[in-house]
Amino acid sequence: MSLRLQINIRIILTSIAILVLGSSVAIWQARSAVSKEIDSSLNLAAQLIKLNFPQSQPNAVDVSAWLPRFVSLEQTRHLKIQLKEPTGQVVKFTAGQNRASDTDVPPQWFINLVSAEYPDVEQQLATTDGKQITLMIQADPIDEITEAWHESCSFFTSLLALTLVTFLAVNLVFNKAFKAIALIVDGLKAIEQGDYQQKLPEFSTQEYDDIAKTINHMTAVLATAHQENRALALHSLEIQEDERQHLSQELHDELGQSLTAIKVMAVTAKNPKADTAQITDAIIAICDHLITVVRSMMRNLHPLVLTELGLKATLEDLVNHWSNRSPTLLLKLNCSNDVDEMGQKITIQIYRIVQECVTNIVRHAEATQATINLDITTGKLLRLQISDNGCGCELDTLKSGFGLLGMRERINSLGGTLAIKTQPGQGMGITANIPLK
């Protein structure tokens, strides 16, 4: 069910509830008003009769002259006044009363709802000629009920008009809102298809404008991340090709030439006059050199010590390696023994991150001291902290480097977070937190 239909149904149900409640209140008020008006008319008629026909002077007023004037009073329009003569004949007096026409008479159900039982008033009178007649006054609320009906009709007409205006106003607002939502949905679909250049326009409604600005900011971040990922993927391919080229060059220059030399020496050794001892020493020296080259190649490809001895020993070997190559740099390693219990997936990533950081420190930081801290907190969180006292740099400049992108991708792949703190002349600090599952 669409949002428009849901809201329209709620408006209709609310309007029906308001109409039902308003109907109940209007009928109750109409019933009270009719009762008050009829009671007031009956009381007035009773008071006028008492005043004009006191018991002590029953023949003081001419009934035939007084009664038409009494009936013509505005207050008696809700009364039915009759005279009953001694012969039993009933005479009705309607002069001066404003009766509702047949077209104005309200429906019977409305009359039944607002009507009530009203008492009859009878008064024995003596005319000037000595006849005894009976004045009968009964309630006739049809005029008052008609007025109440017209007021109720006006009330409900106004209520229906207000409901219709509200309904139209709400739908007009919804039309504008749904157009904005449609634009936002189209923009999100374009982003889903990889169109990060899609920008949402400004909206006059503050809430939609905030959503559009947030989505545009998200799109810009996604576009930047997409460009960084593409650049990182291209850089990774270039590194892969460079490593293959370097490996091929190493195999050609070192292994190929060494094996050729060994083969030449072996052929020479077949000559009875050859110096076998000298040839043997040369072959041994070449083999030792090959072992060193192969170990170096294996360390660059994948450190076997990581699989055999664990992460801590591998990091210690890395620190010793760079300490020997850079004697001016003091490298410190603080590593917990618990890191050796982690899985292979995490250990190789941590090793590569530390390797990249140490390489950057040696090449670019111009630092004299660097510290590597690696431990596991009580909350099963692996924390890696690497800091140096080097030259540092601006963080915006650092973000454009592929080394940082590579480290960030490695940490993100493990579900961790990376924080970097650096300023020119104040060194650099890198903190990585990785949850252990």
- What would the pLDDT profile of 232-247 be if each residue is shown by its tens digit? 677 777 767 777 777 7
Angle, helices 344-360/402-413, rounded to nearest 10 degrees: 160
Q: Are residues 33 and 145 in the same domain?
A: yes
User: Which pair of tokens denotes residue 361?
Assistant: 């420190």
Answer with the one of 169, 186, 204 that is the final residue of a domain. 169
Query: What are the φ/ψ torsions at residue 237 (nearest 5 degrees)?
Result: -65, -40
- pLDDT tens column, 405-429: 778 888 888 888 988 888 888 889 9
- pLDDT tens column, 79-126: 777 777 766 676 665 544 445 555 577 888 888 888 777 777 777 766
Q: Are residues 160 and 274 in the same domain?
A: no
Provide the strand spans (E) within 11-107: 79-84, 90-93
| CATH number for 333 | 3.30.565.10
Dist. CA 325–CA 362, nearest whole Å? 9
Answer with the one of 258, 282, 301 that is the final residue of a domain. 301
Q: Are residues 309 and 294 in the same domain?
A: no
Least confident window among 140-154, 230-244, 367-381: 230-244
Q: Tell me which range, 59-73, 210-224, 302-316, is most confidently predicted by mean pLDDT.
A: 210-224
Q: Are residues 327 and 354 in the same domain?
A: yes
Residue 59 has a pLDDT of 47
Residue 192 has a pLDDT of 82
| Backbone CA torsion sign across 187, 188, 193, 195 | positive
Pairing state of beta strands 369-376 and 330-335?
parallel
Task: Assess if residue 177 is contained within a domain.
Answer: no
Q: Are residues 131 and 235 in the same domain?
A: no
* Of residues 89 and 159, more confidently modeled: 159
User: Per the confidence metrics, is the pTM higher than 0.75?
Assistant: no
Residue 387 has a pLDDT of 92
Q: Are residues 329 and 428 in the same domain?
A: yes
Query: What are the φ/ψ torsions at residue 369 (nearest 5 degrees)?
Result: -150, 140
Q: Are residues 311 and 247 in the same domain?
A: no
- pLDDT tens column, 320-349: 988 888 889 999 999 988 888 888 888 888
Task: Assess if residue 174 is contained within a domain.
Answer: no
Dist. CA 401–CA 430, nearest whole Å? 15
Q: Are residues 412 and 422 in the same domain?
A: yes
Q: How many domains does the chain have?
A: 3
Q: Are residues 272 and 322 in the same domain?
A: no
Task: Assess if residue 41 is contained within a domain.
Answer: yes
Task: Assess if residue 187 is contained within a domain.
Answer: no
Q: Are residues 23 and 161 in the same domain?
A: yes
Q: Tell me which range, 93-107, 304-318, 353-367, is most confidently predicted by mean pLDDT.
A: 353-367
Task: Assess if residue 133 is contained within a domain.
Answer: yes
- pLDDT tens column, 173-227: 888 888 888 888 888 888 888 887 878 888 888 888 888 899 888 888 888 878 8
Q: Are residues 259 and 369 in the same domain?
A: no
- Decide: 161 and 16 in contact? Cβ < 8 Å: no
Q: Which residue range forms the structural domain that includes residue 427?
A: 303-437
Name every residue whose Cβ is closer than 8 Å to that of residue 407 and which is 6 or more positions away in sequence: 353, 356, 357, 418, 430, 432
Dist. CA 82–CA 113, nearest whole Å? 27
Query: Element (H or E) spanning 4, and its range?
Result: helix 3-52
